[in-house]
Copies of this chain bind each other. A is one copy, B any other.
Amino acid sequence: MDVKTLCLSVLSLGEASGYEIRKHFEEGAFRHFQTATFGSIYPALGKLYELGQVSVIEHEQDGRPDKKVYTLTESGRTALQQALLRDPAPDAMRSDLLVQLFFAHLLPPEKVAALIDQRIAEYRACIEKMTGCTKAPPGHGFVQGMGLAIYSAAAIYLEQNKAGLMARLTADRPEKDTAE
């Protein structure tokens, strides 16, 4: 799913500027399962305009560059619907943390504990931010609930299994205090 389609998706929620679109991927509802940054959003909007799938109104502003507010055209709405019908690419998760934990035995135990604690905190913060949001179309709430379910499961797993991992990591080695 390319950035063009992603922009169409966000614009289907209402008109927006490139800057505002980015926020959906940075802080908004899309941040958990899609990524897009300025460098890809602005060119994508340009192409969508050439394709006639969005229209633009420029609002002049004082010290800043004009704000370009994009709106879906009928053609754009159709393009979005067609894109949504295509077979979805398989989900892809990329986690450096899990690589590190996979090789926990190659890291200092304190480092492992710190990594896990930090990630738990991140999940918890994320969960709190997510609870309670606008969710008018049924899909919005459904997807948010899914995110919540996954993050909660991840946080709980880390909380419940951290001690066990740490015990196994330090089991073979003599305690640092005495045997150094």
Interface residues of A, Cβ cutoff 8 Å to B: 1, 6, 9, 12, 29-30, 32-35, 80-81, 84-85, 88-89, 91-107, 111, 115, 137-140, 142-143, 145-147, 149-150, 152-154, 156-158, 161, 164-165, 168-169
Choice from B33, B97, B140 contacting A88 with Cβ under 8 Å: B97
In the bound complex, do residue B138 and residue A99 qualify as a contact, i.e. CB atoms below 8 Å apart?
A: no
* Complex contact A142–B165 (CB within 8 A): yes
With A33-B95, A106-B80, A157-B145: A139-B165 Cβ-Cβ less than 8 Å: yes
Q: Is the CB of A139 within 8 A of B33?
A: no
**Most chain-B Cβ atoms within 10 A of its Cβ — which of A89, A95, A158, A161?**
A95
> Are B81 and A106 in contact (CB-based, < 8 A)?
yes
CB distance from A41 to the nearest CB of B (A): 16
Smallest Cβ-Cβ distance to A146: which chain B residue: B157
Which of B94, B153, B156, B164 sits near A33, CB closer than 8 Å? B94
In the complex, besides A84-B107, A142-B161, 7 extra interface pairs with C-beta distance below 8 angstroms are: A29-B102, A88-B97, A93-B94, A102-B140, A138-B168, A146-B158, A153-B154
Residues of B within 8 A of A156 (CB): 149
A97–B85 Cα distance when bound, in Å, is 10
Instruction: Report the Cα distance A29→B29, complex, angstroms.
Output: 30
Is B142 a contact of A101 with CB atoms below 8 Å?
Answer: yes
Top 9 nearest A-B pairs by Cβ distance? A153-B153, A104-B139, A88-B96, A138-B168, A149-B157, A33-B95, A33-B98, A91-B95, A105-B137
CB A110 to nearest CB in B, in angstroms, measures 12
Residue of B nearest to A87 (CB): B96
